[in-house]
Each structure stands twice: as structure tokens, then as C-alpha cells.
Amino acid sequence: MIRLFKVKETQKELARNSNGGTPTKKQSAGELRLHKDITELNLPNCCTISFPNGKDDLMNFEVTISPEDGYYAGGAFKFSFKVSPVYPHDAPKVKCIPKVYHPNIDYEGNVCLNILREDWKPVLNINTIIYGLYHLFAEPNYEDPLNHEAAEVLKNDPKAFENNVKMAMSGNYVGGSIYTHFY
């Protein structure tokens, strides 16, 4: 009986497509929710969103954050977002694309943001994540680091940390690692 319904649905779809209509791809619940989230975005002026694969691929996009204040002022930091079809039940996978000297971002681009891990709830949305990322640049957190070296410097000598950030953002070496120019 179940197969019969599946066969009938397939026949209906084929009939619709053979009448000159273009095949319609059914959107997953995650795509529908993501579409809603993106339409309702209320980004700060220093944040932009782009779709490198075109608007047809909403599940993969990039957000650029250009802090106006703090240690990272003047830089532009790009994050890739990969959203699961079961979104919002699973948090998006977010990575910082360029290597950045930051206590909450490791050298592979992994981001330490609680709402992307243990504190994720389906009521949260893309806007919340972007504001969380923005907040990481406004106030880096040395208490929950992925880059322990940067966290120690921030904790013990904020002036040296500021100097290291400037060196890294200028494309220089910091702690044996070379960074991309961010200005």
C-alpha cells in the first residue's frame, strides 16, 4: 500500500513536468526556515551577507564582519555558514575563512561560540549567530579559548595582545604563524 502511494506521487509529478512545467524541487523544512531567517535579517552596518554559489543555494553562504571599534577595527573577517537540512534543530557549521589571531577562533577557523555548540536551541536564528560573532570581535573572551596562546596574552597583557592583533592584521608573523593582511 505504501509503495502504491509513492508510485502515484511519482506519476503525478511526472504528469506535471510533462505539461511544460519546470520540475519543482521541494524545499526542506530547514530551507524554508533559513529563507525566513534571511529575509528577516537585521544586520549591523558592519556586517554583510553574500551567496557565493548564487541565491539558489541558501544553505551555504558567507558573512563578512568589519568591526568599527576594538582590537579588530578596520579588519574584514569572512565566515562561511553551512546549514543542515534539519536546521533549526542543528546549529549551522560556521568557520572563519582567513586565519585570524583571536582567542575564540583557532587556526583552522573553528569558532568558539556557545550558541553554536551546547547552547544551541531551535528558537535561535542566523541573526543571533551573526550578532554573536560580531560580539566576539567587540569583546574577545579569554575564559573559553580555542587559541590558548592568544587567550593568555589577552588575559595577562592586553596591550601586547592589541599589538599582536595589529601585527597579524597587517600580514605579519605572530607566535610563529603568518597571517593574511586584513586591511
- Write the DSSP symbol of residue 2: H
Catalytic, 112? Answer: yes
CB 103 within 8 A of CB 143: no
Determine whether 39 is exposed, middle or buried from the number of CB atoms within 10 Å of its CB (0-12, 13-18, 19+): exposed
Catalytic residue, from 46, 47, 96, 112: name it. Answer: 112
25: Cβ contacts below 8 Å, ≥ 6 apart: none
C-alpha cell at 41: 535579517
Mind telling me the catalytic residues? 112
